[in-house]
């Protein structure tokens, strides 16, 4: 499945290499110069050989020198004749066929498999415990509902959601329309999907396609407390968006934390994208202004902005984000187009408390749920969607860049129960 759905007007550039050649007008033949006659060969003159008459030499009796016979040379045996082996037969190069594109159904199966793997710990904590509760029981009683309530709260689905599910199950049990454990799973699944899909439709930005294509660059502002994986998320976003043919620029506007720019520089180098940064303590709005200018001069498609992760003074943070928003809107219409809040799934209800505080200080439009594969309390996604009423845009299911995937409510819930 495509990670970034906001494409340019011309996704492909045709070089017309496979098309027929264009017709060119015929050119008149250029006149050829007449060949010049070759010059006659020069006559060969042979000079006469002079005749030299030698004078008679006097006869002198000189004793003949004694010359020793040369020693016979050793006989070297002839080198054997080496016969070259016959040439190896020429094997034709194999013809590799172009791999067939993966069908949408196969891609969907792979996407579901990744979600199923990511929520394996949560599935063990939720589904398997539900099956253990109903094992050997013929009907659902009050004791069973109490155990079910404990299981749902233990998976961090949230108290409000748990009470709603238990009340619905109790009504169906009283009407005797709910008897089997599979029917109970279906009821719970339907409640979870309704909550997640309602959050997607309520407010915020559910997809980057909501912004017109002629708005460029697309500005994404990322907020979150320190330690939730905000810098890693920015690096993975840049790498994944660029991998689909888009140009990306990163803005290091978190000038409060010393190591923030250094960590971003490492991720920018991995993703091979430009990073705009200034020295520590610089006004974040000034860094954003320089980044917007740089992104526009490079004709970049996406600008990802890192922000301060502190919450000790919400008034200062709110004023800082509001100033950055004004600066961005002067350069790009409707910017920032998204404000993503990064939440650590491992922290459970503490992550929900952090999200609740950030919602008071920042105009958040969507959520990023990190480390979903490392917790048995993955139900926090439902609790956050229920209370904050915001769409979950992305989730992290591993360490690699491709492990940041688009959140899918149906795949998430199916992964919990299958």
User: pLDDT digits over 121-172, tens only?
Assistant: 888 888 888 888 888 777 778 888 888 899 888 888 888 889 988 998 888 8
User: pLDDT digits over 186-195, tens only?
Assistant: 888 899 999 9
Q: Is the bond leading into 336 cis (omega within 30 degrees of zero)?
A: yes
Structure-model confidence comparison of residues 259 and 19, the more confident one: 259
- pLDDT at residue 135, rounded to an integer: 80
Of the CA atoms within 13 Å of residue 130, those in its CB half-sphere come to 26
- Phi–psi pair at 276, nearest 5 degrees: -105, 120
Query: Among 413, 370, 78, 60, which residue's Cα sits nearest to residue 237?
Result: 370
Q: What's 209's DSSP letter? A: G
The lowest-confidence range among 89-93, 105-109, 371-375, 391-395 is 89-93
What pTM was estimated for this model as a whole? Answer: 0.72
Percent of residues, the chain, with pLDDT higher than 90: 20
User: In terms of DSSP bridges, do strands 338-344 and 302-306 run parallel, antiparallel, or are they unpaired?
Assistant: unpaired
User: pLDDT digits over 283-334, tens only?
Assistant: 999 999 999 999 999 999 999 999 987 665 567 777 888 899 999 999 998 8
Strand (E) positions, 185-311?
218-223, 248-252, 275-276, 302-306
User: pLDDT digits over 30-50, tens only?
Assistant: 555 555 555 555 544 444 544
Alpha carbon 345 to chain centroid, angstroms? 21
Contacts of 166 (CB under 8 A, 6+ apart): 145, 148, 149, 152
**Cα distance between residue 277 and residue 259, in whole Å:** 12
For residue 16, is it left (φ>0), alpha (ψ between -120 and 50) or beta? left
- Helix (H) or strand (E) segment spanning residue 170: helix 159-174
Structure-model confidence comparison of residues 268 and 401, the more confident one: 268
Query: Among 401, 394, 7, 364, which residue's Cα sits nearest to residue 221?
Result: 364
- pLDDT at residue 29, rounded to an integer: 52
- pLDDT, average across residues 389-402: 86
- pLDDT at residue 58, rounded to an integer: 46
Query: Among 389, 403, 313, which residue's Cα sits nearest to residue 352?
Result: 389
- Helix (H) or strand (E) segment spanning residue 237: helix 230-243
- pLDDT at residue 62, rounded to an integer: 45
């Amino acid at each position: 499945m495509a990670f970034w759905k906001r494409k340019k007007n011309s996704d492909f550039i045709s070089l017309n290499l496979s098309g027929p050649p264009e017709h060119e007008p015929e050119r008149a033949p250029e006149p050829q110069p007449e060949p010049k006659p070759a010059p006659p060969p020069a006559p060969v003159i042979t000079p006469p050989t002079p005749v030299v008459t030698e004078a008679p030499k006097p006869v002198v009796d000189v004793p003949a020198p004694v010359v020793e016979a040369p020693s016979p040379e050793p006989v070297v045996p002839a080198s054997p004749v080496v016969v070259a082996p016959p040439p190896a037969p020429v094997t034709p190069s194999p013809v590799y066929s172009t791999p067939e594109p993966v069908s949408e159904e196969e891609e969907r199966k792979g996407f579901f498999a990744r979600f199923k793997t990511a929520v394996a710990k949560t599935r063990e904590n939720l589904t398997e415990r539900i099956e253990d509760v109903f094992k050997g029981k013929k009907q659902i009683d009050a004791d069973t509902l109490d155990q079910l309530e404990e299981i749902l709260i233990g998976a961090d689905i949230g108290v409000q959601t748990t009470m709603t599910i238990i009340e619905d199950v109790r009504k169906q049990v009283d009407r005797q329309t709910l008897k089997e454990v599979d029917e109970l799973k279906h009821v719970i699944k339907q409640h979870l999907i309704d909550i997640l899909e309602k959050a997607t439709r309520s407010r915020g930005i559910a997809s980057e396609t909501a912004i017109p294509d002629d708005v460029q660059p697309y500005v994404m502002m990322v907020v979150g407390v320190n330690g939730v994986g905000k810098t890693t998320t920015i690096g993975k976003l840049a790498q994944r968006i660029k991998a689909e043919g888009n140009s990306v620029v990163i803005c290091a506007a978190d000038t409060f934390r010393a190591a923030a720019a250094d960590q971003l520089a490492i991720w920018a180098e991995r993703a091979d994208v430009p990073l705009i940064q200034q020295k520590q303590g610089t006004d974040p709005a000034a860094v954003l202004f320089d980044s917007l200018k740089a992104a526009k001069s490079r004709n970049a498609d996406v600008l990802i902005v890192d922000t301060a992760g502190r919450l000790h003074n919400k008034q200062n943070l709110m004023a800082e984000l509001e100033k950055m928003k004004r600066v961005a809107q002067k350069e790009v219409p409707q910017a920032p187009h998204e404000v993503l809040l990064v939440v650590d799934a491992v922290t459970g209800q503490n992550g929900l408390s952090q999200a609740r505080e950030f919602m008071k200080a920042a105009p958040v439009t969507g959520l990023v749920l990190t480390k979903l594969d490392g917790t048995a309390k993955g139900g926090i996604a439902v609790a956050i969607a229920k209370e904050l009423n915001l769409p979950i845009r992305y989730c992290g299911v591993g360490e690699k860049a491709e492990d940041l995937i688009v959140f899918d409510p149906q795949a998430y819930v199916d992964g919990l129960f299958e």
